[in-house]
Amino acid sequence: MNNYIIVPSIYRNKIGDEIDSQISVDLVNSSKELIEFDRSVNIDLKELYEKEKSASFKIRPVYNISYLYNNIYSGTTTTKYEDELIYPLKSSLIIQSKNVRKGLLQSYEFDFFRPKTTTAFGFESISAFTYNWNYYLTYPSSEDNKKILNIGFKGKDFEWVAGDGIPFVSENITINGFNVTKIICGLNHNLNLGESVMIKIGNNESLHNILSFGDGSFNSEKTIINIININDKIKGNVYGTLRRVTNSANSGETISKYYIRKHKVIKGGDRVVATKAGFQSGIYDGIETLSYDDNNNKFPTKRIGSNKSYNFTIQDEIDIEGIVDNRNRPLTELYLTILFKGYSGFFASKNKPMKQGWDFNRSESVSDWWDDSNTLSNSNIMAISYSDDAKSNFYYYNPPNEFDGDFCEYNEYNQEEIVISDFYYKIKHNESVFRVAGYDNNKSGYYYKPHNRMTLKVFSNYVESVGLTSKDNIPSYAFYSKFDAQFRWRDIYSVGFFDENSNGVNYPYVNDTFYPFSDVIFKLIPDTSGYDFNSLLNDGSGVVVKPIIDECE
């Protein structure tokens, strides 16, 4: 027999007292449970998704960067870095003195990811992508119309203030018996037929109608304007500036503004993450060569150029709500700003900041804009030295939180911003570490465009306009025209909306965050006359080939 005792439900245990375990429930109640919302309402998931999407301002951008460069400069060094150079040809083994040899820098001095080598600094694999370059997410936050610019064209250096517009030189000609002034611009003028031009020579300004564009030569209509020269008002061979006027009857409101955009950092370098793009390389990948020693012994093949791909993103999302651009508009563009750092010391020099300029400063050799003696081309990116005294000859670039950007035109009446000339930096070799053979180190070097654009949203192709009595939602960035007595603006399209001209953007939206994506080709361009990566697709000569036929044909 077992020892189990069955305890009736009226007892708590076998020695407990008998209790009433039933609860009396009164069916009459004066209170009611509060229902927060009606659970029987049907929810439209698509409508709810679009509502949440339109209310979100969080983004996590992703850039795919195809990096294209070609190292063409050979030089000499007396430092312990001589073993890091490439000696590609027997003829290059010129022993000028003890421990002095001529070779090329290896590709990892330029690459985004630097491998571990016999460098003078403590290398850490986790920081491999931070030694050669710095990376920032920036946006155009302000503008500078007082910036002094310089261009070399038609055999002369001409200096002007950004706010004065486009530089030109005049030439008086005759067309069909009429005295005509040919205005030869140093940049694209962006003018159209039916518009006018405000010409400034010295302190005098005058408004002129346009007769025609170009002089019959290839692409000349983009840089040459012909105007009737009444009473010989404009002399020949005179330098000046011009501004676009879209409507001569309303020149005060329709005249364009010109300025340099200023970029502000929205995410610092420590929050940007880079990874190598798997199974992806460009068409120029594999620029390699054999290397030799003093005894003509071959070293393993080393790389002097490449075209690899990388992905850049950030560790956490950005909330762009309330952030406005240089024209006080909601943020529609974001930039991955890539700045050369050069931690190995081959480039940065003491008291020599990085040089900066614009695409028009690379057009003609007459300008000495990029020389170290030209303080106007100095950037705010300064060189700093290593903290170790033993490495005091070595410097790298340490950038601030604001940078110059593109040279732009903005027409307030048309509500349109146009980039006239892209912004560039130039890096040069440190002469005390690496002296370029056959070049002045002030002249040699590499150009690169630091600001790489990502479009977050787009503006409409047409301008909205309403009167003062309108009850429409007028955005804060709208322009009020006294001439028309109307507000004017361009709508900003929502993500996923495209108009009839396929103008719009679309990208994933997950977990209350947008994930915009951008493909960018980042070029490191040697300072060699006529060098253009695009021309390699033609005959490889490095000379830009003009088409045999014009655009009409």
Which pLDDT score, from 0 to 100, does residue 207 have?
A: 93
Which pLDDT score, from 0 to 100, does residue 233 have?
A: 76
Q: Can you give the pTM of this predicted structure? A: 0.83
Average pLDDT rounded to a whole number, residues 169-190: 89
- Say which residue, 386 or 298, is predicted with more confidence: 386
Which pLDDT score, from 0 to 100, does residue 548 have?
A: 42
Q: Is the pLDDT of residue 77 over 60?
A: yes
For residues 508 and 512, give the distance between their C-alpha atoms in angstroms, rounded to a whole number. 10
pLDDT band at residue 90 using 50, 70 and 90 as cut-offs = very low
Q: Where do the domains of the chain lie?
A: 58-142+263-456+516-537, 166-255, 461-504
Residue 470, classed as helix, strand or coil, is coil
Q: Is the pLDDT of residue 338 over 50?
A: yes
Q: Provide, rounded to the nearest whole percent, the portion of the chain with pLDDT above 90.
A: 45
- Say which residue, 528 or 99, is predicted with more confidence: 528
For residues 151 and 100, give the distance between their C-alpha atoms in angstroms, rounded to a whole number. 39
- Say which residue, 367 or 82, is predicted with more confidence: 367
Which pLDDT score, from 0 to 100, does residue 549 have?
A: 42
Q: Is 196 exposed, middle or buried (0-12, 13-18, 19+ CB in 10 A)?
A: buried
For residues 29 and 359, give the distance between their C-alpha atoms in angstroms, rounded to a whole number. 83
Which helix (H) or strand (E) is 182 found in, with range? strand 178-185
Average pLDDT rounded to a whole number, residues 336-360: 90
pLDDT by residue (tens digit) across 374-428?
Answer: 888 999 999 888 765 445 567 889 888 899 999 999 999 999 999 999 999 999 8
Q: Which of 52-66, 122-136, 376-390 ranks highest by mean pLDDT?
A: 52-66
Q: Is the pLDDT of residue 224 over 90?
A: yes
pLDDT by residue (tens digit) across 518-551?
Answer: 999 999 988 875 555 454 333 333 333 344 444 4
Strand partners, 137: 267, 336
Which pLDDT score, from 0 to 100, does residue 75 have?
A: 80
Which pLDDT score, from 0 to 100, does residue 540 have?
A: 34
Q: Is the pLDDT of residue 184 over 90?
A: yes
Q: Which of 222-231, 237-246, 368-377 ranks highest by mean pLDDT?
A: 237-246
Contact 423, 450 (CB under 8 A): yes
pLDDT by residue (tens digit) across 471-480?
Answer: 778 999 999 9
Q: Is the pLDDT of residue 249 over 50?
A: yes
Q: Is 283 exposed, middle or buried (0-12, 13-18, 19+ CB in 10 A)?
A: exposed
Q: Is the pLDDT of residue 140 over 70?
A: yes
Average pLDDT over all residues of the chain: 81
Q: Provide, rounded to the nearest whole percent, the portion of the chain with pLDDT above 70.
A: 74
Contact 314, 266 (CB under 8 A): no
Q: Which residues contact 192 (CB under 8 A, 6 or more apart)?
A: none
Q: Is the pLDDT of residue 12 over 70?
A: no
Q: CA-based diameter of the chain, in Å?
A: 135
166-255: what fold?
Answer: Elongation Factor Tu (Ef-tu); domain 3 (2.40.30)
pLDDT by residue (tens digit) across 358-371?
Answer: 999 987 666 788 88
